[in-house]
Structure 1
Amino acid sequence: MGGASTKLAACHVSPVFLRAQDTTEKAISFIKEAAKNNAKLVVFPESFIPAFPIWSALKAPTEKEHHFFFHNMVSESVYIDGEEINAIRAIAKKLNVIVSIGVSEKVRYSNATLFNSNILIGDDGEILVHHRKLMPTFYEKLTWAPGDGHGLQVVETRVGKIGVLICGENTNPLARYSLAAQGEQIHISTWPAIWPTRLTKVQDDSKVQDKSPVKEPPDRSNFLDNIFGSNYDNVAANRTRAAAHCFEAKCFGIMCAGHLSADVMEWLAELRTPEINSETLKLWPRGATMFLDTTGALLPGFTINRETSAKKKCDFLQEEEGILYAEIDLSDCVEGKQYHDIAGGYQRFDVFELKVDRRRREPASFTDE
């Protein structure tokens, strides 16, 4: 038996690079557009405000550019109670929509400690979940500190029970299970626009990698060369992880990746790393935004023309900036749990036990007279 459908919106967008206030204003414009099109949940990518620290993949930590960009990242990162988040909360309340947005968060007890955070804001403007990425991945450790378990929460909303994980922590089976064990129905996973792991043999990637998220997987006959001689195929890996969680938890998936704008592409090329130029940049696989159903399969999406309001079928967004929409029916979360409800009837609680510490970590505990 089917139930009422709900419209979701995933914003495949670029930040105004390292400009928090301008990026916040851009986010608000996209929230307004999605709300006008009757979306009830609006999702933005990883570290959307103010940017993803892509420079850490391209320049050595000791190079002056790296210090320059980190300084700017600290300056433009946002406080959880700052004006940027407050503006997002206000528009969510005004338009009666739920908003999930990735930010680089700074804290008042340090002038340089940052967290890769995701904020889930309710349609009443209240913060429902404040999640800090458990462990920054690879070169992200040059920018962000490890988070804690406080954000491993699933909250019940009018669109369903929502949980969020950021990028690589979707690889962590215990983190994913902790959300499934709370009855998660909608899983949000956020991703960067691009995530290079190698600066060499980029041109070879076009021969061995399939950059589309919906085509057949690439030929792995020359496995070692493909894996260790080319860039990490983040699109395929992202979809694999998100799909596995949807299948295991029997939940819907929103994969929301950032977009790489032309001006940022020009900036990357201007870093003048020998292996980087405008042509090789185009060959790196971009992140893709898409929806997944409760079996892990691709959920058909669509875009809506800003001028005519006409719908156009679109399974994913990758090269173009925009908003991808999908309709879901939460009753679809039921049938698969007849087969294996991993946090219920298909679990052996007498064999396995998971304990999750959700206390927010602070640098010190003070006692005053």
Structure 2
Amino acid sequence: MTLPTHNRLRVAAVQLQPVLDDAHGTVERVLAEIAAAAADGARLVVFPETAVPYYPYWSFVLPPMTMGDRHRALYEHAPAVPGPVTEAVAAAAREHAIVVVLGVNERDHGTLYNCQLVFDADGTITLKRRKITPTYHERMVWGQGDGAGLHAVDTAAGRIGALACWEHYNPLARYALMADHEQIHCSQFPGSLVGPIFAEQQEVTLRHHALESGCFVVNATSWLDADQIGSVTPDEALQKGLRGGCYTAIIAPDGSHVVEPLRDGPGRLVAEIDLSLITKRKRMMDSVGHYARPELLSLHIDRRAHHAAHGVPQDEARTPYPSALESEEVDHGEPEPQAPHRNAVAGSAPG
């Protein structure tokens, strides 16, 4: 991994039109957009939430009893990580020397997860994180993530953090990345959902995060055409919930748009950003530095990956029941001193 050697670099955000129910078709579009962004001089390209194979729009408008077939189909199309899909994206990142932030529906045996992947410019997956809590209808589709990926990573495009959709309404999750000194925050939303107010909410939320974190924000959403919306549901009343909500944007640390956002149709934004503007913002207000009061307010993070089963090394294994001697022993000595409580500031909690 090679860190940027200068402050200025070009970044891209893709408002992707997925190929519904065709993982291969969507992946081909992702690979084409990676090549196109690199040809435009971008060193970072960001794709929407669960872009591969597609966001499960049907879960927002269909009752659970009728969405079983579509849910099972999503299982069939969802990639494993690692797997052939991630290998193809890694090869494209390596070929074009570009950092790729991609949302996927990750299949891990019997469960799907909303997963964010960061591929460095050499093709290495430097971050794999799962959405902490799926939102509302999404809980019928995805499992819950953990804190293992709740940190920033160094890449050839700078120090990157990522959150998906309404995770941005969890201020502690955002603070965790702020305290880990992200330079570029890569956010992903579904797009073509809820209506115009969803795009307005994204704009307010993400411009605020840029201001509060003192970082750049690169946001990407998906877009569906009328035929795709009709394939999700023929009910015109429900179709209203699958329009609008697109807000693909590149935002500076002062909360301004670097380039005019993309609010409709498929497309790609490319713009040059100047990382020195981060210092310009934080000189006045560093919310995890001179503007913080960690002795009053701090954040404790559990960054362990949680698993359904835990093994004990054989040389440490003990019999499940104490011996007779052990069961009769009584310790009348002084209690062992307890370790002091660690109210760790974000980014310093043990992993």
Class of the TM-score when normalised by the shorter of the 2 chains? 0.7 to 0.9
TM alignment of 1:265-304, pairs within 5 A? 265-268=229-232, 271-273=233-235, 275-276=237-238, 280=240, 284-300=243-259
* Residue of structure 2 in register with 1:344 after alignment: 289
2:202 to 234, 238, 250: 238
Deviation at 1:4, TM superposition (A): 3.9
What SS class does the counterpart of residue 156 from structure 1 fall into? strand
Deviation at 1:234, TM superposition (A): 0.9
Please tell me the residue identity of whatever aligns with 1:261. Answer: D
* Residue of structure 1 in register with 2:279 after alignment: 334
Please tell me the residue identity of whatever aligns with 2:55. Answer: F
Q: 1-side partners of 2:13 and 2:92: how far apart? A: 17
2:63 to 54, 60, 65: 60
Quick check: 1:136 aligned with 2:120?
A: no
* Residue of structure 1 in register with 2:76 after alignment: 75
Which structure has the larger Rg over C-alpha atoms? 2
RMSD: 1.7
Deviation at 1:368, TM superposition (A): 6.8
TM alignment of 1:4-153, pairs within 5 A? 4-63=7-66, 66-107=67-108, 110-111=109-110, 113-153=111-151
1:178 to 168, 176, 179: 176
Please tell me the residue identity of whatever aligns with 2:96. Answer: L
Deviation at 1:285, TM superposition (A): 2.3
Task: Give aligned-pair identity as a percent.
Answer: 31
Q: 2-side partners of 1:281 and 1:118: how far apart? A: 25
Quick check: 1:250 aligned with 2:214?
A: yes
Q: 1-side partners of 2:42 and 2:64: how far apart? A: 42
Q: 2-side partners of 1:78 and 1:362: how far apart? A: 20
* Residue of structure 2 in register with 1:311 after alignment: none
**Alignment deviations for residues 70-128 of structure 1 (CA, whole Å, 9 cap, x no partner):** 00011111111110011101111111110000000011xx33x1100110000111111
Deviation at 1:276, TM superposition (A): 3.5
Q: 2-side partners of 1:145 and 1:319: how far apart? A: 30
Deviation at 1:273, TM superposition (A): 3.3
Q: 2-side partners of 1:368 and 1:281: how far apart? A: 52
1:319 to 264, 283, 287: 264
2:227 to 254, 259, 263: 263
Deviation at 1:366, TM superposition (A): 2.7
Range 46-55 or range 149-158, more displaced: 149-158
Q: 1-side partners of 2:216 and 2:105: how far apart? A: 26
TM score, norm. by length of structure 2: 0.84
Please tell me the residue identity of whatever aligns with 1:327. Answer: E
Preserved CA contact (<8 Å) 1:103 1:117:
yes
Preserved CA contact (<8 Å) 2:131 2:144:
yes
Preserved CA contact (<8 Å) 1:58 1:273:
no
What SS class does the counterpart of residue 86 from structure 1 fall into? helix
Q: 2-side partners of 1:138 and 1:326: how far apart? A: 34
TM score, norm. by length of structure 1: 0.80
Preserved CA contact (<8 Å) 1:121 1:127:
yes
Q: 1-side partners of 2:256 and 2:269: how far apart? A: 17
Deviation at 1:338, TM superposition (A): 2.2
Please tell me the residue identity of whatever aligns with 2:306. Answer: R
Preserved CA contact (<8 Å) 2:159 2:182:
yes
Preserved CA contact (<8 Å) 1:20 1:84:
no
* Residue of structure 2 in register with 1:202 after alignment: none
Quick check: 1:191 aligned with 2:189?
A: yes
Deviation at 1:167, TM superposition (A): 0.5
* Residue of structure 1 in register with 2:156 after alignment: 158
Preserved CA contact (<8 Å) 1:7 1:40:
yes
Deviation at 1:22, TM superposition (A): 2.0
Gaps of 5+ in 1: 197-204, 206-210, 212-232, 301-314
Change (3 A) 1:81 1:158: closer
Gaps of 5+ in 2: 1-5, 315-351
Please tell me the residue identity of whatever aligns with 1:243. Answer: R
Q: 1-side partners of 2:238 and 2:289: how far apart? A: 50
Q: 1-side partners of 2:219 and 2:313: how far apart? A: 46
Preserved CA contact (<8 Å) 1:253 1:292:
yes
What SS class does the counterpart of residue 29 from structure 2 fall into? helix
Deviation at 1:7, TM superposition (A): 0.5
Please tell me the residue identity of whatever aligns with 1:241. Answer: T
